[in-house]
Amino acid sequence: HVQLVESGGGSVQAGGSLRLSCAASGYTYSSYCMGWFRQAPMKEREGVAVIDSDGVTSYADSVQGRFTISQDKDENILYPQMNNLKPEDTAMYYCAVDHVHARFTGDELKDWQYSYWGHGTQVTVS
């Protein structure tokens, strides 16, 4: 069965950096779109950064130029490198896999397209 486990969250000052990790198992890694989403208190979950099976990436406007999504296909790990963090980046961050699509559909940053989710890791920027 598909399992996604996030790690690497924590507290950081504005302007700092964090790298999260998502260890994936239970399916053919990198065969599908994967991504990072976040949810702040009292806000809807939003797509942050996604990557397709060819390594094509897409980012939310709010993180473009600051976040970089990448993956280690040998270790089945998905990363976002998050730089120049801002207080508005404070949220629970989730890793997700779209177990249907290998390429972007135009809705790749929409959470409803993703079938499997991790439990999340908290990022707090002050």
For the stretch 101-121, pLDDT in tens is: 889 999 999 999 999 999 999
Q: What is the pLDDT of residue 1?
A: 86
Residues of the chain above pLDDT 70, percent: 99
The average pLDDT across 59-88 equals: 95
pLDDT band at 31 (very low <50, low <70, confident <90, very high): confident
> What type of residue sits at position 20?
L
Q: What is the pLDDT of residue 25?
A: 87
The answer to whether 86 and 14 are in contact (CB under 8 A) is yes
Backbone angles phi, psi at 70, to 5 degrees: -150, 175
Structure tokens at 112: 């409803």
Instruction: Identify the residue with better confidence: 70 or 27.
Output: 70
pLDDT band at 48 (very low <50, low <70, confident <90, very high): very high
List the one residue out of 62, 122, 67, 119 whose CA is nearest residue 92: 122
Residues of the chain above pLDDT 90, percent: 83
Measure the CA–CA gap between 3 and 92, rounded to whole angstroms: 18
- Ranges assigned E (strand) in 1-115: 3-7, 10-12, 18-19, 21-25, 34-39, 46-51, 57-59, 67-72, 77-82, 91-97
Chain centroid, CA 33 distance in Å: 11
Model confidence at 29: pLDDT above 70: no
Q: What is the pLDDT of residue 99?
A: 84
The answer to whether 6 and 62 are in contact (CB under 8 A) is no
Structure tokens at 116: 């499997």
The average pLDDT across 29-35 equals: 85
